């Protein structure tokens, strides 16, 4: 692994209510030297960010979340000035026409469909870090 790799020692917040996705993402990200925090809903994600604002470098946000969906959660995060530049990558399994535009309008930095291609995800993450 390259010392200059921006993924090394980055802290990523994974927001997803499916433990299989969380496990798969966490396992993959940790192999590249990242630390992973996790929230299974939007409310907890916002709370985690507020408690450890400086510690999180990037968010991987699922769209389909219980209660407040990923786009609403992204908009809530963007409404807080401390997180105006925080990279938020939306991940979704059920991509429909117009969904990408909705996510970007909500404040997502990028939009990635599931199943996630790890090489593509890592490249997008690097570009935002």
Q: Report pLDDT digits (tens) over 82-91.
A: 999 999 999 9
The answer to whether residues 114 and 92 touch, using CB atoms and an 8 Å cutoff, is yes
What are 2-23's pLDDT values in tens digits? 568 999 999 999 999 999 999 9
**pTM higher than 0.85 for the full model?**
yes
Phi-psi region of 67 (alpha: psi -120 to 50; beta: other; left: phi over 0): left
Query: What token pair was written down for 125?
Result: 């993450």
- Kindly list the structural domains of the chain, giving each domain's residue range(s) and its CATH number in brackets, ordered by start: 11-128 (3.40.50.2300)
């Amino acid at each position: 692994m390259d010392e200059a790799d921006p993924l090394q020692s980055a802290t990523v917040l994974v927001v997803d209510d499916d433990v299989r996705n969380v496990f798969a993402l966490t396992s993959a990200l940790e192999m590249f030297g990242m630390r992973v925090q996790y929230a299974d809903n939007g409310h907890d994600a916002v709370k985690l960010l507020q408690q450890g604002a400086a510690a999180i470098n990037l968010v991987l946000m699922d769209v389909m979340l219980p209660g407040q969906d990923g786009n609403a959660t992204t908009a809530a995060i963007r409404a807080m000035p401390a997180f105006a530049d925080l990279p938020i990558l939306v991940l979704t399994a059920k991509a429909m026409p117009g969904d990408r535009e909705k996510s970007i309008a909500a404040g997502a930095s990028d939009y990635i469909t599931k199943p996630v291609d790890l090489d593509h995800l890592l490249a997008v993450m690097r570009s935002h870090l």
